[in-house]
Amino acid sequence: MNGKSTIDFLSLTKEAVNDAYIECTPRCYCPLCGKQGKPLYTALADWVFGVPGSWGVRRCSACELAWQDPQPTPQHIPRLYERYYTHNSIQETRLARLRRAAYRWVLARMGYPVERPEGFLPWLLSLVPSVARAAVLEVMDLPASQVGSLLDVGCGNGDFVARMQSFGWSVAGVEPDPVAATRVRSLGVQVFTGTIADVPTANRYDVITLNHVIEHVADPIALLRECGRRLRPKTGILVMTTPNIKSLGHWWFKSYWRGLEMPRHLVLFSPASLSHFVARSGLVLRSIRTDTRLARMIFIPSYCAQSGSLGIGDWTDFKVSTKCASYAFQLLEDLMALFKKDIGEEIYCVSTAAAEENDEPE
């Protein structure tokens, strides 16, 4: 197993700990209803990337919502991401290349202009439901016939926007990490360094995507409203994915669930609570569902953390037995999702921009 030992992971000097100090503020009340939340977990550590501190989670059972308490102050939030994924490109394994070939088969069936790979195995793998769903979300389930302007908020290393640009979309990205933003520009993609508030309100987009972004912000309603201001009135759509607090993985692993990701995930949603946030922001909910495509990815680090491992974000390989168990977990979640629709590891939500106030009724 290519992981750092627990001793290495914790061997920070006193000076390093002081340099890494994260200033926090309490957040006891539900962001939706305003009532005081009940503690769900306490004394959580960042076992993914090792940000120092002790973190807690509160929940509101009425709103089906959970949130981090205490939360880092805005000035200290960048310290949470110094070793985050946007800085690095993960080396692709042979199995990942096979899966990527299967994705091309799925996208080709959707009508996207991609070359169908040779060989029987990629085609066969593309028929597996979880693989097909993962491929569909590679393009955020946008139909191949739809081409227009697209803004990806939190675009990371730019792979998604570059892919959509190759399919004919006029794309732009928003990324707070200046290192990642530089990489996106090197791909020939327009990118705004900062947040959605740094995108001119005069810019209107047909589609805005938030791929596992909304859980990273302290004020989801403000984020959604800012997105709404940059969508084309009535026709523009906002597509979101985010971890599902009601998932099988959370029920199974509890405080070791990968979707918690303390201290970077500030708010954690259920389908019902995310629907309420959409309505509060003035957007119109079009569809919402949960998906199981991340079941394997959630299982592996969650299982390792439950076994006492730390620094998992730096690992590049895992035990064969753990990988095999992840496939069993994926199958279990796929089967359970046939009967319990809100059990998937992530939420997929589509909403539509409201009409502008000065629009005349039809």
Beta-carbon contacts of residue 314 (< 8 Å; ≥ 6 apart) = 3, 4, 49, 83
CA dihedral 262, 325, 348, 88 (to 10 degrees): 60
Query: Any idea which fold 145-352 has?
Result: Rossmann fold (3.40.50)
The number of beta carbons lying within 10 Å of the beta carbon of residue 6 is 12
Predicted pLDDT at 315: 86
pLDDT at 17: 41
Task: Convert the pLDDT of each residue in 159-204 to its tens digit.
Answer: 999 999 999 999 999 999 998 999 999 999 999 999 999 999 999 9
For residue 152, what are the β-bridge partners? 173, 209
Q: How far apart are CA 320 and CA 324, in angstroms?
A: 6
Domain regions of the chain by residue span: 6-81, 90-144, 145-352
Instruction: Give the pLDDT confidence score for residue 102 in this predicted structure.
Output: 95
pLDDT of residue 85: 64
Low-confidence ranges of the chain (pLDDT < 50): 1-19, 359-362
Torsion sign across C-alpha atoms 86, 89, 93, 99? positive
- How is residue 45 annotated by DSSP? -
What pLDDT is recorded for position 5? 43
Q: How far apart are CA 9 and CA 338, in angstroms?
A: 41
Decide if 326 contacts 300 (C-beta within 8 A): yes
Radius of gyration of the chain (CA): 20
Name residue 90's amino acid.
I
Beginning with the edge strand found earlier in the chain, give each strand of the sheet holding 237-243 in spatial order: 190-193, 170-175, 149-153, 207-211, 237-243, 346-352, 284-291
Q: What is the pLDDT of residue 104?
A: 95
**What span, in angstroms and rounded, lies between the C-alpha atoms of 200 and 8?**
45
pLDDT at 81: 84
Report helix, strand or coil for 37: coil
DSSP assignment letter at 318 = -
For the stretch 47-56, pLDDT in tens is 999 999 999 9
pTM: 0.89
